[in-house]
């Protein structure tokens, strides 16, 4: 299963003095019905006690994400 680790810098908001980063594993299951897959850009925003990581693209390089019947894991850091 392909994995991607996003940098902490991508998840830090300006003005936050100190943060505790938590790593999350997000698994996206795409159904296997006709036309269930997508080539659209897919984003996620994770919220924590100190803020949020902002809109983060779920996209693995050199991998056709969100095909019908697939499961893709993404590793994200959140504050």
Binds Ca ion by CB under 5 A, chosen from 6, 30, 59, 67: 59
Cα 37 to Cα 32, 41, 60, 67, 68, distances in angstroms: 8, 12, 15, 4, 4
10 φ, ψ (degrees, to nearest 5): -70, -20
* Residue 65 or 78 having the CB closest to Ca ion: 65
Please state the closest distance from residue 61 (CB atom) to Ca ion, in A.
6
Is residue 67 a contact point for Ca ion (CB under 5 A)? no
Is residue 65 a contact point for Ca ion (CB under 5 A)? yes
Chain residues binding Ca ion by CB under 5 A are: 59-60, 63, 65
């Amino acid at each position: 299963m392909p994995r991607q680790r996003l940098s902490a810098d991508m998840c830090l908001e300006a003005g936050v003095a100190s943060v505790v980063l938590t790593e999350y594993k997000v698994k996206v299951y795409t159904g296997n019905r006709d036309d269930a897959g997508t080539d659209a850009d897919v984003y996620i925003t994770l919220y924590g006690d100190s803020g949020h990581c902002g809109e983060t693209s779920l996209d693995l390089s050199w991998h056709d994400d969100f095909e019908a019947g697939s499961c893709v894991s993404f590793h994200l850091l959140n504050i």
